[in-house]
Chain A
Amino acid sequence: MTVSLTLLVTAAVLNAVGAVLLLTRSLTRILIGAVVLGNGINLLVLASTGRAGSAPLLHPHVIRNRLTDPLPQAIALTAIVITLATTAFLLSLAYRSHQVTGSDEISDDTEDRLVALRADVLRRRSELRARYRQARTGSGSTGDERARYRAGRRRLRERMREERAYQARARDVSGNLWNDILGADPEDYRVGAERGSTDAAGRPGPAPAHDAGPTNDPEETGREPDGDQDAPGAEGTGRPDGPDGPDDPGQEGPR
């Protein structure tokens, strides 16, 4: 079978571009990636036709063995229609995501991160405690040790809270395409925030259409600063309680 090199090279380039875009976090980029990838793959389908021939119309003067194979074209047409439908759906999904969370980034699955984080923090905490207890029984001076112990625990809590803030927003403030593609560490996001690549609040902007519900209740937000009371249990209060908490269920779902 003869295959056109142009088709193959174009398809390869389109697929590579599409694949890279598909790995990003922003739904809009993913959408473009899906369109590009879909086109590249349609070219591959067309390439399976082999050598180009005359139009596959059956009229009296046709030379049958010079016709282009129509079946790959039919398959490609089907695929185009399906890609169109999926693109429309992704577009509406991206818009809806922007509507409810203020960005079209896909955040990490909160439960996944929580399971991992919980285990990690509990382990480190027990390590700290063991070391502290050992030091206490060994030497007499407890004041120093206790201060260090507390500092360690505070660091853990801070890390937990950072993670939480990160996963709540899962936004790209690093401004770095490769971080965006490969998944940056929370540290990168923090650095990005310090550099001031977003606005002062560190948010893309006020989320649309939020009524001032009890989330902004002073009684509730007032608890924020002393969220460092104790242990992983207290993170409920360390949660970024801002108006763009990404997963308020159903606040503007159809009623």
Chain B
Amino acid sequence: MNALVPLPVLLPLCAAGLELAMGPRFQRAQRFVSLAVLGAVLVLSVALMVAADRHGPLSVHLGDFAPPLGITLVADRLAGLMLTVSSAVTLLVHLYSLGQGMADRDDETPFGVFHPAYLILVAGVSCTFLSGDLVNLYVGFEIMLVASFVLLTIGGTATRVRAGSTYVIISLFSSMLFLVAVAMTYSVAGTVNFAQLAGRLQEVPVGVRTLLEAMLLTVFAIKAAVFPLAAWLPDSYPTAPAPVTAVFAGLLTKVGVYSMLRTETLLFPGHRLAAPLMLAALASMVVGILGAVAQTDLKRVLSFTLISHIGYMVFGIALAGRDALSGAIVYVAHHITVQTTLFLVAGLIERRDGTTELTRLGGLAKSAPLVAVLFFVPAMNLGGIPPLSGFLGKLGLMRAGVEDGGGWAWALVAGAAATSLLTLYVMAKVWNLAFWREAPPGAAGEGVVLESAEDDDSGDGDGDGDGDGDAGGGEGEGGSEGDDRDRDARGDRDAGGERGARGDRRRRGRRPAPAGAVVAAGLLGQSITTTTRLPWPMLLATGAAVALGLLYTVLGGPLTTFTGHAAAELLARTPYIEAVLGP
């Protein structure tokens, strides 16, 4: 059984090499390999999770080198659960991207890099979840990050290059910080293996220990987008293609949360930085959700709710009791799924209407009822409406906070409740604007063509008279009240609409769209013409993601039992240490 542990890393890496060798000429084979490997990783992850639950943590020393020298991979309950959730989500997102790629007819484009990069990302994520030492964790992060650089800037359009630059620089900086932390840890303890560090760090002077903890927490907080270090996220995520944003939002930040969870429990038990962590958690929740309230673009709204809800997990980590950790783990699983699903739905909307700008959307509940349902369920899930898993996670965390009973804990419980309500408000706002109200004039109509339309001068029916309509409105006399009010309304509407209108004009300049069709950005960022009829693989994948979110509710009992055991295992520490170093 132990021999299976490295496979979730090895399989995707080898498959990525194979796909790169095949090149873009064998699109079908590439897709098949990706799908098969991702499916295999899912099966493996489930097997590892079950085995770790039955027999305790599994560990393997690569090359049979003993701990201080060799690389150790460990799969305990937490790692198994994270692997399972992440591989399920990556499989679904991959299906979605296949649907999108096929519909965009990207076969003709030089598109050989998406599938390999995606697999390398999966390998990196698996590597961080499984790694049993600090250096391997660093390497896992780097594998994941380099793949994510490629995915984020795929197609190389100007917006993506700009967004990618921010992301690359921040990631680079946090990696450097991580490396310094690794060097410091090594010079203090003479090892980088988690199991050995767990023992040796206890003998280190308290000040040095706290410094190490602070360094590692800072690094992971940048990765996880905890509030003061989260500004990069809303700038860089929304411009990427929908499946990429979805998998980033779901997984990359949670990898940071996982690393925090692992190091805080294993290396720094009874940690001294609980108060700063709580403060960061509170600030993340409140500032993040207030940011979401202010945004008018669906993808950016979702980016801010992402930051906000990271706060819940940090809250659980900071409390560090058994129930709190259990709640945090449930919340991580729930949030990976739900946040990914919401970004997938945002992708569907963008594809259907050419924009995710809420002021330009409307009437989707009537014109696209399936998309409306697919949005509504995860949105309510995120907001924490009772039978759904978001409620379970929040309930567990708040209960743990109340039991803790400290001043900080109460403040955080209050903050969590307020954030939950504000999340509901934000989701209701999105629902009202995009789905429930009448479609505003100029919204997407019924499309007819399904084509990656190349230049075609058949018409120009889109995006006109939207940004300019009011330029002709003229400077009124500024006299009567009515005039003022009228202008106010118009100003507000246009203030929201202008971005979309500008985007339209720009696109129109490049490639005129056939009348009645929608101009959206394809996977590579090029303008494509889509229809309002969505490709079924995309809908199916999104539906499956929604169903996965609902599954956590159905399996709520076993899930919380499992996470309870996982949390107990984390706090006990001995099962992990013994699995690596022997009894």
Is the pair A82, B142 in contact by a Cβ cutoff of 8 Å?
A: yes
Residues on A with beta carbons closer than 8 Å to the beta carbon of B471: 223, 226-227, 229-230, 234, 236-237
Tell me whether A109 and B474 are in contact in the complex, defined as CB-CB below 8 angstroms, given that A96-B161, A122-B491, A234-B494 are known contacts: no
0 or 1 for each of B114-139: is its CB under 8 Å from A? (1 = yes): 00000000000000000000010011
Residues on B with beta carbons closer than 8 Å to the beta carbon of A173: none
Residues on B with beta carbons closer than 8 Å to the beta carbon of A44: 179-180, 183
Is the pair B186, A1 in contact by a Cβ cutoff of 8 Å?
A: no
Quote the shortest CB–CB distance from A76 to chain B (angstroms): 9
Residues on A with beta carbons closer than 8 Å to the beta carbon of B180: 41, 44
Q: Is A17 an interface residue (CB 8 A)?
A: no
- Output the nearest chain A residue to B134 by Cβ-Cβ distance: A75
Partner of B158, one of A1, A3, A132, A248: A248
Interface residue stretch chosen among A59-67, A85-93, A186-194, A197-205: A85-93
Q: Is B162 an interface residue (CB 8 A)?
A: yes
Q: Is B404 an interface residue (CB 8 A)?
A: no
Which of A38, A79, A231, A233 has the largest count of B CB atoms less than 10 A from its CB?
A: A233
- Beta-carbon contacts under 8 Å, B7-37 to A: none
- Beta-carbon contacts under 8 Å, B428-446 to A: none
- Beta-carbon contacts under 8 Å, B495-536 to A: 495, 497-499, 501-503, 505-510, 521, 524-527
- Separation of A245 and B68 alpha carbons in the complex (Å): 55
- Output the nearest chain B residue to A250 by Cβ-Cβ distance: B526
Residues on A with beta carbons closer than 8 Å to the beta carbon of B300: 111
Q: Is B166 an interface residue (CB 8 A)?
A: yes
Is the pair A249, B159 in contact by a Cβ cutoff of 8 Å?
A: yes
- Separation of A245 and B162 alpha carbons in the complex (Å): 13
0 or 1 for each of A128-144: is its CB under 8 Å from B? (1 = yes): 01001000000000000
Q: Is A68 an interface residue (CB 8 A)?
A: no
Is the pair A71, B470 in contact by a Cβ cutoff of 8 Å?
A: no
- Separation of A146 and B110 alpha carbons in the complex (Å): 60
Q: What is the total number of residues of chain A having a CB less than 8 Å from a CB of chain B?
A: 75
Is the pair B478, A132 in contact by a Cβ cutoff of 8 Å?
A: yes
Q: Is A118 an interface residue (CB 8 A)?
A: yes
Residues on A with beta carbons closer than 8 Å to the beta carbon of B521: 249-250
Is the pair B68, A71 in contact by a Cβ cutoff of 8 Å?
A: yes
- Separation of A30 and B470 alpha carbons in the complex (Å): 42
Is the pair B498, A233 in contact by a Cβ cutoff of 8 Å?
A: yes
Tell me whether A247 and B146 are in contact in the complex, defined as CB-CB below 8 angstroms, given that A71-B186, A75-B186, A106-B166 are known contacts: no
Residues on B with beta carbons closer than 8 Å to the beta carbon of A223: 468, 471
Residues on A with beta carbons closer than 8 Å to the beta carbon of B506: 215, 245, 247-249
Interface residue range, chain B: 35 or more
Residues on B with beta carbons closer than 8 Å to the beta carbon of A228: 475
Tell me whether A247 and B169 are in contact in the complex, defined as CB-CB below 8 angstroms, given that A253-B525, A255-B109 are known contacts: no
- Output the nearest chain A residue to B475 by Cβ-Cβ distance: A230
Interface residue stretch chosen among B170-178, B260-268, B279-287, B366-374: B170-178
Tell me whether A112 and B156 are in contact in the complex, defined as CB-CB below 8 angstroms, given that A1-B187, A72-B183 are known contacts: no
Q: Is B168 an interface residue (CB 8 A)?
A: yes
- Separation of A45 and B192 alpha carbons in the complex (Å): 13
- Beta-carbon contacts under 8 Å, A23-48 to B: 27, 30, 34, 37-38, 41-42, 44-45, 47-48
Quote the shortest CB–CB distance from A21 to chain B (angstroms): 11
Q: Is B295 an interface residue (CB 8 A)?
A: yes
Tell me whether A235 and B498 are in contact in the complex, defined as CB-CB below 8 angstroms, given that A149-B478, A253-B524 are known contacts: yes
- Separation of A226 and B505 alpha carbons in the complex (Å): 18
Partner of A250, one of B155, B475, B499, B502: B155
Number of A-B contacts (CB under 8 A): 221
Q: Is A179 an interface residue (CB 8 A)?
A: no
Is the pair A100, B156 in contact by a Cβ cutoff of 8 Å?
A: yes
Q: Is A101 an interface residue (CB 8 A)?
A: yes
- Output the nearest chain B residue to A118 by Cβ-Cβ distance: B495
Is the pair B498, A115 in contact by a Cβ cutoff of 8 Å?
A: no
Partner of B235, one of A112, A146, A215, A226: A112
Residues on B with beta carbons closer than 8 Å to the beta carbon of A115: 294-295
Instruction: Give the dominant DSSP class at B's interface.
Output: helix
Is the pair A229, B525 in contact by a Cβ cutoff of 8 Å?
A: no
Partner of B494, one of A71, A72, A215, A232: A232
Is the pair A233, B157 in contact by a Cβ cutoff of 8 Å?
A: no
- Separation of A1 and B184 alpha carbons in the complex (Å): 12
Is the pair A114, B499 in contact by a Cβ cutoff of 8 Å?
A: yes
Q: Is A254 an interface residue (CB 8 A)?
A: yes
Residues on B with beta carbons closer than 8 Å to the beta carbon of A45: 179, 182-183, 186
Quote the shortest CB–CB distance from A247 to chain B (angstroms): 4
- Separation of A109 and B471 alpha carbons in the complex (Å): 26
Q: Is B153 an interface residue (CB 8 A)?
A: yes
Quote the shortest CB–CB distance from A172 to chain B (angstroms): 15
Is the pair B158, A85 in contact by a Cβ cutoff of 8 Å?
A: no
Residues on A with beta carbons closer than 8 Å to the beta carbon of B495: 118, 122, 232-233
Partner of B156, one of A27, A106, A129, A253: A253
Quote the shortest CB–CB distance from B506 to chain A (angstroms): 5
Residues on A with beta carbons closer than 8 Å to the beta carbon of B182: 45, 75
Q: Is B149 an interface residue (CB 8 A)?
A: yes
Quote the shortest CB–CB distance from A24 to chain B (angstroms): 10
Q: Is B573 an interface residue (CB 8 A)?
A: no
Tell me whether A230 and B487 are in contact in the complex, defined as CB-CB below 8 angstroms, given that A236-B505, A249-B527 are known contacts: yes
Quote the shortest CB–CB distance from A117 to chain B (angstroms): 10
Is the pair A254, B109 in contact by a Cβ cutoff of 8 Å?
A: yes
Q: Is A124 an interface residue (CB 8 A)?
A: no
Which of B179, B476, B507, B524 has the largest count of A CB atoms less than 10 A from its CB?
A: B179
Q: Is A218 an interface residue (CB 8 A)?
A: no
Quote the shortest CB–CB distance from B492 to chain A (angstroms): 8
- Separation of A217 and B506 alpha carbons in the complex (Å): 12
- Separation of A254 and B153 alpha carbons in the complex (Å): 13
Is the pair A22, B169 in contact by a Cβ cutoff of 8 Å?
A: yes
Q: Is A50 an interface residue (CB 8 A)?
A: yes
Q: Is A176 an interface residue (CB 8 A)?
A: no
Is the pair B168, A236 in contact by a Cβ cutoff of 8 Å?
A: no
Is the pair B478, A146 in contact by a Cβ cutoff of 8 Å?
A: yes
- Separation of A230 and B162 alpha carbons in the complex (Å): 31
Is the pair B158, A254 in contact by a Cβ cutoff of 8 Å?
A: no
Which of B138, B474, B498, B527 has the largest count of A CB atoms less than 10 A from its CB?
A: B498
Q: Is B484 an interface residue (CB 8 A)?
A: yes
Is the pair B135, A233 in contact by a Cβ cutoff of 8 Å?
A: no
Q: Is B583 an interface residue (CB 8 A)?
A: no
- Output the nearest chain A residue to B300 by Cβ-Cβ distance: A111
- Separation of A250 and B183 alpha carbons in the complex (Å): 43
Is the pair B183, A47 in contact by a Cβ cutoff of 8 Å?
A: yes
8 example contacts (A-B, Cβ-Cβ < 8 A) are as follows A109-B166, A229-B470, A229-B472, A231-B494, A233-B494, A246-B158, A248-B158, A250-B157
6 A-B pairs closest in CB distance = A233-B494, A236-B467, A48-B187, A250-B526, A231-B491, A100-B158
Q: Other CB < 8 Å A-B pairs besides A34-B169, A75-B186, A249-B525, 8 of them?
A: A78-B139, A106-B166, A122-B495, A226-B471, A231-B470, A232-B495, A233-B470, A249-B507
